[in-house]
Amino acid sequence: MKPIDCELESEVLAAVLQNRWPERVDASLREHVAACAICADVAAIAGAIDEAREEMRANAMVPDSGRVWWLAQMRARREAAQAAGRPITAAQVIAFACAMGLLGACFGATSAWFQSALRQTASSLAAFRLQALLSLTGAFVAEHGALFLGMAAILLVIPAAVYLTLLRE
Amino acid sequence: MPTCARMSRLKPRERAMLWLAYAEGASHREIADVLGLRPTSLKPLLFRARRKLAELLGRAPRGGKP
């Protein structure tokens, strides 16, 4: 198998990063680098990256300090306004929910139709028989078995597919 | 071509890996932590990125260790 690292590459890298390469290193290390492809690559890459660092420093466009300060102030003000507005939004949501609840309660207390519907529901619940429901369900499954199985399969397959897709991402 | 332009032809992850390893002198474990990689898979990835940049710098592939 082709080697992908060398025990001396950290030594070569340290020499390059400390600007000792190639003049101020042992002759044995220089000889090793001349013969070892991995260390030769490390020396070349580290040197090139050091050069790139100098290029970036030379080409860096530093914005005006006044503009940076002004932008920071604007951002701080915007964030402070957002932080201050958060409790107000929460209070508005709570007030809206309370108003809706109150409206619903008033409607329930005053509407004759709602009262009769409630009474009907209560009486049907009192007359509810589990046995009848089970037999009805059994008959439905026996009659539409294939449809029932298909729906069950879809209910199982779709969440599993969504889960697997999310897992892969 | 300047080195920056050559480096811009690498993938962002390869660039980050090489920069951390050869400009910052970070250890393999530190690089793996920063980039969210397994330390065991870092070595081959770093080797490939290094080889790719070496080729972009015009260094022909050579044989293995002496």
Say yes or no for a CB contact (<8 Å) between B4 and A35: no
Those residues whose C-beta lies under 8 Å from the C-beta of residue A51, and which sit 6 or more positions away, are B3
**A150 compared with B63, residue with greater pLDDT:** A150
Burial A69-103 (b: 16+ CB within 10 A, else e): eeeeeeeeeeeeeeeeeeeeeeeeeeeeeeeeeee
Say yes or no for a CB contact (<8 Å) between B25 and A49: no
Can you tell me the ipTM of this complex?
Answer: 0.81
C-alpha dist (Å) from residue A24 to A37, A38, A117, A139: 21, 20, 95, 92
Say yes or no for a CB contact (<8 Å) between B57 and A44: yes
Of A32, A49, A55, which has the smallest distance from its Cβ to B19's Cβ? A49
Q: What percent of chain A has pLDDT over 90?
A: 5
Euclidean distance between CA atoms A78 and A148, whole angstroms: 55
Is the pLDDT score of A1 beyond 70?
A: no
Q: Would you say residue B64 lies in a domain?
A: no
User: How many separate domains does chain B show?
Assistant: 1
Say yes or no for a CB contact (<8 Å) between B2 and A40: no
**What pLDDT sits at residue A60?**
65
pLDDT band at B66; cut points 50, 70, 90: very low
Minimal CA separation from B3 to chain A, in Å: 5
Residue B30 belongs to domain spanning: 3-56
Give per-residue pLDDT as tens, A25-46.
Answer: 889 999 999 999 889 989 989 9
Give per-residue pLDDT as tens, A110-136.
Answer: 888 878 888 888 887 777 777 777 887
CA atoms within 13 A on the CB side of B26: 19
Q: Would you say residue B62 lies in a domain?
A: no
3-state secondary structure of A32: helix
CA atoms within 13 A on the CB side of A115: 6
- Two tokens at B10? 């690498």
Q: Would you say residue B21 lies in a domain?
A: yes
Give per-residue pLDDT as tens, B27-48.
Answer: 889 999 989 988 888 999 999 9
CATH number at residue B9: 1.10.10.10
Chain A contact present for B8, CB below 8 A: no
**Which residue out of B1, B4, B19, B51 would a mutagenesis test of the A interface target, given it has the greatest number of A Cβ atoms within 10 Å?**
B4
